[in-house]
Amino acid sequence: MDFVPELSSVTESAAPATTAAAPARRELPDAPLLAAARGEKPVHPPVWFMRQAGRSLPEYRKLREGVAMLDACFDPEMLAEITLQPVRRHGVDAAILFSDIVVPLKAAGLDIDIVPGTGPVVAEPVRDAKAVKALPLLEPEQVARVAEGVGLLVERLGDTPLIGFAGAPFTLASYLIEGGPSRNHEHTKALMHAEPELWHELAGRLADIALTFLRAQLDAGADAIQLFDSWAGALSERDYLEFVQPHSAKVLAGVAGYGVPRIHFGVGTGELLVAMRDAGADVVGVDWRVPLDEAVRRLGGKAVVQGNLDPALLYAGWPVLEAEVRRIVDEGRAAEGHIFNLGHGVLPSVEPEVLTRVVELVHSL
């Protein structure tokens, strides 16, 4: 990419996807998640949890025995079953596709794996122009098995919406440049500032990959999407606006034509809520550091928000947890719409029964 698109040009120019005869999207007019995302106040806040599928569930651990994480993500029947497990168990108002932010990078041919206890690890970190230019594009057929899993879910989910997702350009770039999880993202920020053209070319390619991945999920019938910029909170607002927002905007604009809710979330992003909403989000995910009514104020008083229970409080015992859930639902009333969620993903050792009880409480408020 030899230029940085101005935000306005990106949001107006992105043509809706030219999709083949995509299966008709399910009509779920009464789904609380979609109503809340539209800014309608359903009877109670809809609730789902990031990382609701996965290690916190014994039935997940049993099914995954002997199967590598990324193999599970490309097995339609397995990824569908894993996605359904928390929906059956907890009665949440949405399913989130069991996949991972590195799945499209793996599908495109990158040498990347997920190391249990560590996270995504890249064999050869991307640090120079040669490596950036070698970054392959993602072809839709390379994620056809994920799309097949989405198709199975659309058949099996009844009237529960399915949220598809992708990682945002900055978070994906950080994994590629650092070579794995990073606390300070120093190589990423150094390249961003010292070689801005190279940064924008890399971020643009990652935006294209994320967009292809989201379109494949939407063409297969996903009812909403979430763009995860988990590590955007490491950035100043100035750096986010200059180096990141245009590329996340390209992804969010690229799926605007589907007319489904676009949720945009990052961790530690209290100072970036407006910039992340302006990237093209219909719903802004908030972590536990900013109360939801304060987040709504920062967003100009009108916004649909998602969050924001601190996952650590799932270990604090029911009296504490109940009070926190009630406080968050009260604060969420300041928003046009509120989707109850955690402020980050479910931690692997959380007792599943606690999450089921949180769903029941939110549904009673």
Ligand X SMILES: O=C(O)CCc1c2[nH]c(c1CC(=O)O)Cc1[nH]c(c(CC(=O)O)c1CCC(=O)O)Cc1[nH]c(c(CC(=O)O)c1CCC(=O)O)Cc1[nH]c(c(CCC(=O)O)c1CC(=O)O)C2
Positions marked active-site: 51, 55, 64, 100, 175
In what order do the strands lie in the sheet containing 337-342?
Answer: 95-96, 162-167, 224-228, 262-265, 283-285, 304-309, 337-342
**Residue 57 — φ and ψ, nearest 5°?**
-105, 125
Binding part of the chain for ligand X, among 22-30, 95-103, 153-161, 236-244 by CB under 6 A, reads 95-103
Residue 69 or 365 with smaller CB distance to ligand X: 69
CA separation (Å) from 360 to 96, 187, 199, 349? 19, 44, 46, 20
Residue 198 or 314 with smaller CB distance to ligand X: 314
Residues 272-291 within binding reach of ligand X (CB under 6 A)? none
**Residue 238 — φ and ψ, nearest 5°?**
-60, -50
**CB neighbour list of residue 205: distance below 8 Å, 6 or more residues apart:** 1, 132, 135, 137
- Interaction of residue 181 with ligand X, rule CB under 6 A: yes
With CB under 6 A as the contact rule, the residue among 78, 114, 256, 274 that binds ligand X is 114
With CB under 6 A as the contact rule, the residue among 120, 149, 291, 307 that binds ligand X is 120
Alpha helices in 41-121 (DSSP H): 58-64, 69-73, 76-90, 103-107
3-state secondary structure 7-38: HHHHHHHCCCCCCCCCCCCCCCCCCHHHHHHC
- Interaction of residue 268 with ligand X, rule CB under 6 A: no
* Token representation of residue 265: 């979330």
With CB under 6 A as the contact rule, the residue among 199, 213, 228, 340 that binds ligand X is 228
Nearest-approach distance from CB 93 to ligand X, in angstroms: 14
Residues 50-69 within binding reach of ligand X (CB under 6 A)? 50-55, 64, 69
Question: Which parts of this chain interact with ligand X (CB under 6 A)?
Answer: 50-55, 64, 69, 83, 96, 98, 100-101, 114, 116-117, 119-120, 165, 181, 228, 230, 344-345, 348
Known binding positions for substrate = 51-55, 100, 175, 230, 344
